Amino acid sequence: MIERNGLRFTVPALTTLDMATEDCPDSIDFALRTRTATLEGMHDALARTANRSGNRLRLQLLLDSRDEPWSAAERRVHRLLRGAKLTGWQGNLAVTVQNQLYYLDVGFRYLRLALEIDGRVHQKDPDLFESDRIRQNALVLDGWRVLRFTWRVPDERPSYFIEQVRRGLP
């Protein structure tokens, strides 16, 4: 919250927190994906409004967002990886390949292993489908291994998901 000339205004980080609920943390994912607000900014907004009702839940949602998921599917994957005690990964890992910047849903940089989670939008958007294939080819040609999963696999078959990730690790 900021104040100018006696008027109080909200800031994107606080608005994001106000919109987040336990069943729908999408506002946090959206803010992180679009860079409208940072995780640090949301923690700061929470601290500045410490006595507000619902802040315990907001804190839990922020802690669950510590690896900066950009979607509910990524949030689920991050929980599974942490629960399986897998380390060395980063959510939305930025890599440059052939002078092009790409963000991997999950990347193990030093192992050159990428995990890609395809949501329903990938099925409906032909341009996104095409760009994902171009990105995957660029990564593979640069020495990356790419494991692709539909959004349903981590949700409906978590053991299989973790087993496949472990098999991809050296």
What local confidence, expressed as pLDDT, does residue 146 receive?
97
* 17 and 88 fall within a common domain: no
Q: What is the CATH number of the domain that holds 128?
A: 3.40.960.10
SS3 letters for the chain? CEEECCEEECCHHHHHHHHCECCECHHHHHHHHHCCCCHHHHHHHHHHCCCCCCHHHHHHHHHHCCCCCCCHHHHHHHHHHHHCCCCCCEEEEEEEECCEEEEEEEEEHHHCEEEEEECCHHHHCHHHHHHHHHHHHHHHHCCCEEEEEECHHHHHCHHHHHHHHHHHCC
What is the pLDDT tens value at each position of the chain, 170 positions in all?
667 788 877 888 888 888 877 766 678 778 877 888 887 888 888 888 888 888 888 877 777 776 777 788 888 999 999 999 999 999 999 999 999 999 999 999 999 999 999 876 555 677 888 888 999 999 999 999 999 999 999 999 999 999 999 999 98
What is the reported pLDDT for 120?
64
Is residue 100 domain-shared with residue 142, that is, in the same domain? yes
Which domain range does residue 93 map to? 72-168
